[in-house]
A and B are shown apart, each in its own frame.
Chain A
Amino acid sequence: EVQLVESGGGLVKPGGSLRLSCAASGFTFSSYSMNWVRQAPGKGLEWVSSISSSSSYIYYADSVKGRFTISRDNAKNSLYLQMNSLRAEDTAVYYCARDPAAADGFYYFDYWGQGTLVTVSS
């Protein structure tokens, strides 16, 4: 069974930093592109970042470019999101999600974690 479990969320002050983790199990993690998607309270879904299976290709939404860094450790079956210079508008539930077909040029998400809440407030 595919499982994605996020951790690392919490309360942080504006300008602060936080590192999110996503532990994957039930599939060959090193074969899939992975993503972070967030959802502000009461709002819609917003894609944040993606990373290819071997970390060769990395993309960011304009809203986080230069502040967030996505990475992965295939040996540990883990995905990460380093978030720096956090702003109030970064407050959201952050989901990690698997892309089943990025290698074929199709970008979508077939499995999602349950999310971890990041709150940026003084």
Chain B
Amino acid sequence: SYELTQPPSVSVSPGQTARITCSGDALPKQYAYWYQQKPGQAPVLVIYKDSERPSGIPERFSGSSSGTTVTLTISGVQAEDEADYYCQSADSSGTVVFGGGTKLTVL
């Protein structure tokens, strides 16, 4: 299997734009997915197939991909967006891998 690398932490002020990156050698060939997890809660899917947003997820959440790096962008960050964010991908055999997670702090 392979690894996905995320920064441990990102900090932004309310109203600013947060960008969380995820790097992995297989990302040019495999889709990436993003989950938000708040303390004591189960993860929630916020982006799938690199840039698609599930119903019910605010438009301020977006995803993009370039080469071996995918990026989760949160525009106009709100206090409620403070959480851990995990990227995830899989190889062609169905083996799933998660990034180590990024703690987003809203200052």
Contact = CB atoms under 8 A, between A and B. Distances in A.
Given A44-B86, A45-B86, A108 B45 contact: yes
B39 to A, nearest CB: 11
Contacts of A45: 35, 37, 43, 86, 88, 98, 101
6 contacts: A35-B96, A44-B100, A45-B35, A106-B48, A107-B90, A113-B42
Given A44-B86, A45-B43, 9 more contacts: A44-B101, A45-B86, A47-B98, A59-B95, A108-B45, A108-B48, A110-B54, A112-B42, A114-B41
Nearest to A107: B90
A46 interface: yes
B94 A50 contact: yes
Given A44-B101, A114-B42, A115-B42, A106 B96 contact: no
Interface in A84-115: 95, 102, 105-110, 112-115
A17 B35 CA distance: 30
A40 B44 CA distance: 18
Interface string A26-47: 0000000001000000001111
Contacts of A46: 98
Nearest to B97: A47
A110 B45 contact: yes
Contacts of A57: 94
Interface string B25-69: 000000101010100011111001100001000000000000000
